[in-house]
Amino acid sequence: MSESALNLLNLIINNRDDIIYIIVLLSCIVVGKYYRKITDCNEKEKFGNRLGIAIIIIVSGFHAFHIFISFAVSAGIILLHRKLQSHIIISVFMFLYLLFFRMVHYLDLPSPPGHTNLIQMILTLKLVGLAFEVNDATLKCKTASKEELEKMPYHERELAEINLKNIFGYCFNYVGVLTGPYMTYRTYRDPFMEKYAHDEKSFNACDRATLDKFKSIPIFVILYLATSYLWPIGRIFTDEFYTDESILYRLWYVWPVFFIFRMRIYIGLTLAECVCTAAGVGIYPTVFQSTPGGGPRTKDNQLLKDWQETYDFTTINNSDVYTTETCWTFREAMKSWNMCVQYWLAMNVYKRFPSRKLRTGATLLVSAYWHGVNPGYYFCIFAAPFYVAIEDLTLKRLKASGKPFPLWLNICVWISKFFAFSYMSVAFQLITFWRIWNYYNSVFHFGYCFWAVQYVIVLFWPKISRAVFGGGKRPEKPKEEKSS
């Protein structure tokens, strides 16, 4: 067998889990058209749940018991302990179970596969988010008058009186069960309850949206396979990478590694969005001004009077690929990445954390912990806000001149953005502390040193500018002579 064929075979073997993942999502997309045309709500819910359970068992095998145990305990807490702040109890339980789930190998138990980890991650977001939603709705209904209760949105009344069937349907519907996107209880229920979700025009909008999103997937796949073939990520784990390659090559290698990572994520997130669009989940009239993860900002039916019958799927948009790739700054790219999870973090951690000074750190900690227990996630995620602060200060100094940025300067900012992402993401993929430390040592911690120097320069730039380019002290304005 030739070396090229062997490399291709190794690529397929190493990506076996990803291939299974793609096959499952493609199957869900195909099923979507049939699912959204089921008119009986009970039958539709049963079909979605049966398929969701089947997916969990197929990809997890006996490891599925982790999913069912954590669900059963959390559902029981929601149903039996509403008055005891179940949202706090469930948050603690689900995140502790996530820790146990990822460390079972220390107890000589078999480690769950990667797909089960994805299911457990999204289930954690759903159950914790649902507990907060139930708590908020219950408090709102308790203080509402009879008239206010009648005018209240249906989903809030359902949440206040939620039952096991509702919780089960929300957690185990096949749409989003494997990898998201995260959606609120209302987003899950609206396709069953809203009339516009069942008309012919919305069905056509679903087909168009699915096709439009799916068109980009072959491009991502080709770029992923080509880059993985030319610059395999496995090379960074070998001893030869550190002994035979130059420091410049090792430093440059973070670019293809992060490019491969991005293409892989884009494939998964876009396929997950296609599952939603094919099933008619997350579709709303454009006049409702939906946001990723949160859904409509308003559902005022008065807006439908002048409505042009156009729909959007903004609610289930995981990532804005075009903006992530083309925007100039790191901050803007961060906002366009994994937006549904960012919504969950904002609503359930950042806005609810009691200390304003610590809420940013708490949000980052929860995000890193949710991704995993290994140091790589913390190296990557906690480095981001420091770079954002440096970037913000740099741009502030550059904008102080009042002149528009020339194209070459925007390109420099863009290159800096992607270098920062690439340098940080290496830690995310190397995972363990010693692998991360070994790589950063091999490039003399160039990224961190460069950003530290950049910060010092931009912090003292006004003084440095006057000292280097002259001018000394700013000339004082001449005093006006007093009129005699």
Are 396 and 348 a contacting pair, CB within 8 Å?
no
Question: What is d(CA 142, CA 137) in angstroms, rounded to the nearest whole number?
Answer: 9
Whether residue 418 lies inside any domain: the answer is yes
| pLDDT band at residue 1 under the 50/70/90 scheme | low
CA 83 to chain centre: 32
| pLDDT band at residue 223 under the 50/70/90 scheme | very high
Question: What is d(CA 351, CA 346) in angstroms, rounded to the nearest whole number?
Answer: 6
| pLDDT band at residue 6 under the 50/70/90 scheme | low
Whole-prediction pTM: 0.89
pLDDT higher than threshold 90 for residue 153? no
Tally Cβ neighbours within 10 Å of residue 103. 12
Are 188 and 173 a contacting pair, CB within 8 Å?
yes
Amino acid of residue 107: L
pLDDT higher than threshold 50 for residue 482? no
Percent helix, percent strand, percent coil in the chain, to nearest 5: 75, 0, 25
Whether residue 382 lies inside any domain: the answer is yes
- Cβ neighbours for 198, distance < 8 A, ≥ 6 positions apart: 39
371-408: pLDDT as tens digits = 999 999 999 999 999 999 999 988 888 777 667 778 88
Active site residue 81: no
Active site residue 371: yes
Q: Is the dihedral of CA 350, 354, 356, 362 positive or negative?
A: negative
pLDDT higher than threshold 60 for residue 211? yes
Region of poorest pLDDT, from 86-95, 233-242, 315-324, 470-479:
470-479
What pLDDT is attached to residue 35? 93
What pLDDT is attached to residue 330? 93
CA 90 to chain centre: 22
Pick the closest to residue 90 from 123, 117, 41, 57 (CA basis): 123
pLDDT higher than threshold 80 for residue 453? yes
Whether residue 273 lies inside any domain: the answer is no
Whether residue 85 lies inside any domain: the answer is yes
Pick the closest to residue 11 from 221, 225, 220, 219 (CA basis): 225
Question: What is d(CA 153, CA 169) in angstroms, rounded to the nearest whole number?
Answer: 19
| pLDDT band at residue 5 under the 50/70/90 scheme | low
Tally Cβ neighbours within 10 Å of residue 351. 10
Alpha carbon separation from 95 to 36, 100, 352, 371 (Å, rounded):
33, 9, 17, 11
What pLDDT is attached to residue 69? 95
Q: In terms of pLDDT, which residue wins out, 391 or 80?
A: 391
What pLDDT is attached to residue 478? 52
What pLDDT is attached to residue 405? 73
What pLDDT is attached to residue 141? 86
Tell me the helices (H) and strands (E) count for the chain, helix number first: 24, 4
CB-based burial label for 15 (10 Å; 0-12, 13-18, 19+): middle
Alpha carbon separation from 339 to 183, 211, 217, 221, 318 (Å, rounded):
11, 21, 19, 22, 5
Pick the closest to residue 292 from 329, 345, 330, 331 (CA basis): 345
- Cβ neighbours for 425, distance < 8 A, ≥ 6 positions apart: 254, 257, 258, 261, 380
- Stretch (H or E) spanning 296: strand 295-296
* 20 phi-psi bin (left φ>0, alpha ψ -120 to 50, beta other): alpha
Whether residue 106 lies inside any domain: the answer is yes
Region of poorest pLDDT, from 23-27, 78-82, 382-386:
78-82
How many domains, in total, are found in the chain?
A: 2
293-323: pLDDT as tens digits = 999 988 777 777 777 778 999 999 998 999 9
Whether residue 103 lies inside any domain: the answer is yes
Tally Cβ neighbours within 10 Å of residue 6. 10
Using omega within 30 degrees of 0 as the cis cutoff, is the peptide bond preceding 354 cis? no
Q: Return the SS3 of 283.
A: coil
Choosing from 7, 15, 371, 438, the catalytic residue is 371
Whether residue 17 lies inside any domain: the answer is no
What pLDDT is attached to residue 14? 61
Choosing from 135, 338, 348, 374, the catalytic residue is 338
> Which residues form the domain of 123?
40-189
Question: What is d(CA 94, CA 131) in angstroms, rounded to the nearest whole number?
Answer: 11
Question: What is d(CA 6, CA 246) in angstroms, rounded to the nearest whole number?
Answer: 27
Q: What is the pLDDT of the chain when averaged over all its residues? A: 87
**162, 189, 216: which is the final residue of a domain?**
189
**How large is the average pLDDT for residues 108-122?**
90
Whether residue 176 lies inside any domain: the answer is yes
Q: Is the dihedral of CA 456, 408, 319, 254 positive or negative?
A: negative
| pLDDT band at residue 4 under the 50/70/90 scheme | low
pLDDT higher than threshold 80 for residue 81? no
Q: In terms of pLDDT, which residue wins out, 15 or 365?
A: 365
pLDDT higher than threshold 80 for residue 450? yes
What pLDDT is attached to residue 483? 42
Beta-bridge partners for 284: 312
pLDDT higher than threshold 90 for residue 369? yes
pLDDT higher than threshold 90 for residue 183? yes
**How large is the average pLDDT for residues 238-264?**
93
| pLDDT band at residue 345 under the 50/70/90 scheme | very high
For the stretch 456-462, contacts whose Cβ atoms lie closer than 8 Å and that sit 24 or more positions apart, written own/partner, are: 458/390, 458/393, 458/394, 458/397, 459/393, 461/397, 462/397
Pick the closest to residue 310 from 403, 395, 201, 220 (CA basis): 201
Q: Return the SS3 of 184.
A: coil
